[in-house]
Structure 1
């Protein structure tokens, strides 16, 4: 009988040790792996991806060219040549700083481009600065003068 009592006490001690093994089972059951601890499951939340960038919108703008002056009469010109007022140069009053060299500056207003003495309206030889008023349709001839600039 002593052997039976020892066996019974051993049984209770074994059951007590088995129940106190740290198992989390509430019903007292042992997992299928026996006394090995259950695997731990870790849930990791992925960071939310940033929103996709908005689509790029390209706006097409048609450039308007700047208005350019039409070729035509100018308001300053060389002191050497023959010009038709209204076509080559603008009508108005022009001035020149005078002769380019010691021979003087010659200018002539003419009614046509014939070069005849009778076509001359007026003329002058400048030794210093000078002015002349030119009218639409006249011819203006200039020799050895500095640049003519419109002043009025």
Structure 2
């Protein structure tokens, strides 16, 4: 093969490989609604904002002396670290009924336990 054709073929191969290597990575959209159970990192998993849940995800509630048991309630936590370290809780709340959670810019992770899905409030 003449040298000119060989160098063009090499250049073409480099351009094709470079084009594939330079493709941007796929980024998933943040979840909305947020499932009722789990720990979610703000940014990749969920977007900051005000969220609302209808309350407990339990199919039935257990009450003792007119007080719901912890297993009957929805609980949420916000953390200042993405690893949801219990020593870095910013806010928490627990209820049987509807609740709001404000996931602002200082929140790095959000945890939800036994809740119905969380939807973002416009």
TM above 0.5, one fold? Answer: yes
State the Cα RMSD in Å: 1.8
Query: Residue by residue, what CA displacement relative to the aligned partner does 1:57-108 show, whole Å, maximum 9, x if unpaired?
Result: xxxxxxxxxxxx9513122121000001111011100000000112100100
Q: Residues 114 and 127 from structure 1, CA distance in 2 versus in 1: closer, same or farther, beyond 3 angstroms? A: closer
1:143 to 82, 92, 113: 113
Question: 1:1-150 to 2 correspondence within 5 Å?
Answer: 70-101=27-58, 102=61, 103-112=72-81, 113-116=83-86, 118-136=87-105, 137-150=107-120
Q: Normalized against structure 2, the TM-score is what? A: 0.62
Runs of at least 5 residues in structure 1 that lack an aligned partner in the other structure:
1-68
1:120, 1:104 → 2: CA distance?
Answer: 19
Q: Which has the higher contact order (CA 8 A, sep 6+)?
A: 2
Contact in 2 for aligned 1:76/1:89 (Cα 8 Å)? no
Partner of 1:49: none
Which of the two has higher C-alpha Rg? 1
Structure with the higher fraction of residues in strand conformation: 2
Where does the alignment leave 5 or more consecutive residues of structure 2 unmatched? 1-25, 62-71
Q: With the length of structure 1 as denominator, give the TM-score of the two structures.
A: 0.50
